[in-house]
Structure 1
Amino acid sequence: MSNPSDDTAAPSEFPVDGSAGVLAALDGAETAIFVLDPTFAVRWINEATATYFGLDRDAVIGADKAALIESQIASIFERPDRFAETVGDTYADNTYIEEFECHVLPGEDREERWLLHQSRPIENGPLAGGRVEHYTDITDRKAREAELKRERDRLEEFAGVVSHDLRNPLNVAQGRLELLSDEFESQHLEPLGGALARMGRIIDDVLWLARAGRDIGDTEAVDLGGAVTAAWRLVGDETTDAELIVAPELDGHRIEADSDRLAQLLENLLSNAIAHGGDDVTVRVEPTATGFAIADDGPGIPPADRERVFESGYSSVPDGTGFGLRIASQVVEAHGWEISIAESPDGGARFEISGIEACGSGSGTNAGEKTDETPRTGD
């Protein structure tokens, strides 16, 4: 029999369908590979294995893998005992697939890296009863995960500052307003209360983005037409000349949604229309084949900016926070819907929300029917 350490003789020592070309391909793979016979002796390793583990390929062929772990391999890992035990268990009971992550510490001729161990028994062929082990380099993925964790920690810290430094003074202001309302009558108190309430919603928006930007609560059947009207009552007071036109087929039309987050979505889209469309903007809300659309007759959004508007901090108006459309897009994504921007028939912006699960319509009107529309102004 040929020397198993001789690369030219490897196909006869390590039978693989497809001849030596297959071994050549495996040898150049970035995934480290151990092939073990039924006694768990090493029959073959590729170049990546030698690199990742700092092994001499010729020296390890024929070596007992368990002994090799004890003498050379386990010590390179952050948790050597756990590595040795987990892999050793697969030799004691070679009937199952194993998978775990392991951290290789840097050494004299060895780079630090994270590896994903995946191994399984060999069930057929001359090496049946043996085992094949793969070690995939996941260092880049672990680095991304660590960066995401750092980002989440920074956002959590930011959320704590927002919650304490803004929420507490706002609560004081709202409390003082209640005391003033008990003692005085003034036409200015109600708008002041509305402004404070809106500040509270902005704080909620920022906290939601920081802490749970892609999460929603329990969903239920929500009356879409009613939700649009309720959202307009909150944001339409910003201008008494703005007009909302809701297609009648939306009245009683129910969709499956988190009602609080749907309200947040609608408030932000309607506020955006008012902010960019001016005091006399007309906003139309109508059904589509798979959702609904909110369109206005304002200046519209240039095609080049239609992706950027969903970025945090992006705003084309001087007093904009840049959070509104970002929040809207994340509410949409959290529901599993899609949002897109087009030009409205009046030349303004048209936000289309699609992929929505409808729960029925109390109006009995089909989405495609032509019906009269009901206008609602800001006053």
Structure 2
Amino acid sequence: MAYELTPVLIPFALAAVCVFLPWYVIDELSDERYRISLVVSMIALAAWALAELLRISATTIPAELLWHNLRFVGPAFSAVGYFVFAAVYTDHTAWVRRQRLWPLFVVPVLTIGVVWTAPDLVRATVAATDDGLFVMEFTPGVWYILHASYSYVLVAVGTWWIVSRFLEFQSNLFVRKQTAGVLLSAAIVMGANLAYNLDITTLDWTPVGGALWAIIFTIAVSEYRLFDLSPLAREVVVENMESGMLVATPDGEIVDVNHAAATMLDVTDDDLIGHQVDDVFVISRARIEELLAGESSSETVRVDGNGDRWHAITVSPISVPSDDDIGRVITFDDVTDRVERKQQLEAQKASLERQNERLDEFAGVVSHDLRNPLSTIDGWAEVAADAISGEAADLDDAETALAHIQRAHDRMDQMVDDLLMLARAGQTVEDTEPVELAAVAREAWEHAAVDGCELDVRVPDDTTVAADRNRLLRIFENLYRNAGDHNEPPVTIQVGLLGDAEADADSDGSGERTGFYLVDDGDGISAEQREEIFDHGYTTDSDGTGIGLSIVRDIVTAHGWDIEVTTGRGGGARFEISGVDLVTA
């Protein structure tokens, strides 16, 4: 009987089957060259396992020689398959182009020919033995040594490429896991083969090591999706990109970044990898999915924690043939200058629109509001002329006419003054200075000269606000005059700080809003009128211009503040100006 079954054959039989396990996940690999190298390695290892199994079971020298010759298919081609895999994985793709790929197979093909045509070059001597599992022993020939050296060189070069990749990207957890998995698989196979060639063991356990590699590789790909996001041509393309790049899982976890991303965000790779995308950019994961589903995949967003920087991000899906949803690639560029220019243009446009609105208001005042006092002056001028032109001059009529003319003149003077203030009230305040709020409130009271009213300032003298002092004065002056013109004396006007429960009877003490208020104890303003009192030209006083509160609103807005009118606890009008940064020493 030429063959004999022994228990030691079982691991080799299992190995011949297990080496084909990666076939189960071959579609998971994103590059066809991975698949080709994997198929070559699987077939070579399977042939190696079967040949070694039959060699061990052989009971005659001719039978063992037959399978010893056939086993050379394994080491000859599996080394080439590993080399091709390493070249593709580490982006040394120049070595797997056609002009270099085919020469790699010269030594393996010659080896297959030499073992049949010149076996003495492979086995220098062959002798019978009854020691152990084999019936023959041999000493390696020249070609055996040459072939083994060639295979080890291919494996050594491929391993060095992988180790270099590991060292280059050791700060990148994702790439580190990939590379460690590849190295572990290769170490198992190489360890088994070196043990045989160094006579540590009489059995060549290399194909069994290949089966363990196949199991590890299959689990890594199917369970941990080891090569789903393998960055092809990473060193050449990704690392030299001027744009920042993040690779994230469908759950939003960042697994890879390029150098530009870390530099642009002024962080290290470790500050990004393992974090969520919305920890980096002010954008939700739901919005990222909307960008993928929509017609536009780009959006301009701020960097979280640095609101002064803006980036234009583009989101793209990552997929492989077996899965349409394995991750996201997010590329981004710093567009802060572009956004700021756009904001400046929008601000200029808004400023021009406000100027046009004020021009319309000017036209309305000139064409209508100023026409009324001019008509009044014309009418009373005729009355005065008639009163003094006759033989019996009526000085009383003339004096009455002149009084009406004076009032019309004063009204026109107030209108012109208001128009000049209106021209600059809405201009954005750019140059501010620390202004003592209490001092301005008292000074404005002197300028306003409101008869029959009393001022009660409840603002600490050391409280300051960043403002344009002259325009802040005008706010108080106009609000004082508004209280005096629309209430019967006596009227008390109180100025205080929002949220000051001790000084302000209307405060809830929450301190949620910062700013100041002005409240009187007059008749108040109805809810219907509150909607209109800040409109240009609105007034309930026949002698009013309807511009005063419009100016107040424009000055408040120009400072970036807010104004609201309510009713005070005593029933009077209460104006609250909020959003003001107050400083109290």
TM bracket, shorter-chain basis: 0.3 to 0.5
Q: TM-score, normalised by structure 1?
A: 0.45
* Structure with more of its chain in helix, by fraction: 2
Q: TM-score, normalised by structure 2?
A: 0.30
* Structure with more of its chain in strand, by fraction: 1
